[in-house]
Amino acid sequence: MSAPEPTRPRLLAAAPWIVVLAGVLVMTVLFALAAGYLTGDRRTSGAPEPAWPFAPGSTPAPVDSGTDPASPSSSPSAAPRTPTPTSARPNGGKPAASRPAPPRTTPARPRPTTSAPKPPEPLTGRYRVLADYRDSFIAEVLVRNESGSAQSWTVELRFRHEVDDLRGFWVEGAPRPSVDRDDGRWIFRSGAPLAGGESDPLRFQFERWGDGERPISCTVNGRACQIP
């Protein structure tokens, strides 16, 4: 019988390949288990599968916004902003020319206001020389009442030292006045009130040496007389 003798050497020769095939089979099983574990863990975590925005070679479809542009219910689009004009500088960095100022309006000149006429002085006086002699002279103070009521008057005269004594005095057509001398002044007071609009010519004669008939001062009720 010759059957068992040749089989043992063949089995010993094939033993290494059996070990290699068993290792490959074990690695394949382990790889399959690992791949399945990773795939299951990704799906369990809920991470979405990566998706391409469009398939290669295809045109993307327009996105539907869900609103009709012609629909009246849609909100109106914002109006375009009007650009604000800015002053541009010319080349060279020089500032732009300023706008000319508007012409100034000249205000109307106020009309001159006409002041009310000054009321006339109640009593006025005017001095004049009536006659001139070698050693004396006769002069007059014309007293006039510019008011509408009768008033009494007082005439004061002051002369230089050339005028000395008073020879006489009177009022034409009126009572004789009174006279006093005080500190170089001659003071004449009316004998009766002077009616409104009337005049009293007060006249007097003084002695003098040289040219002294022009008085230094003359007043009627404190107001200066007119002396030519």
Domain boundaries, the chain: 123-224
- List the structure tokens of 149: 């009521």
Q: Which CATH number fits domain 123-224: 2.60.120.620, 2.40.420.20, 2.60.40.290, 1.10.3720.10?
A: 2.60.40.290
Residue 201, judged by CB atoms within 10 A of its CB (0-12, 13-18, 19+), counts as middle
| Distance of alpha carbon 43 from alpha carbon 31, whole angstroms | 19
CA nearest 225: which of 151, 154, 136, 133?
154
Report the half-sphere exposure of 216 (CA within 13 A, side-chain side): 9
- The strand pairing partners of 181, in sequence order, are 186
Q: How confident is the model at residue 88 (pLDDT cuts 50, 70, 90)?
A: very low
Q: How confident is the model at residue 30 (pLDDT cuts 50, 70, 90)?
A: confident
For the chain, the average pLDDT equals: 77
Q: How confident is the model at residue 169 (pLDDT cuts 50, 70, 90)?
A: very high
222 close to 166: Cβ distance less than 8 angstroms? no
Residue 130 CA, chain-centre distance (Å), reads 68
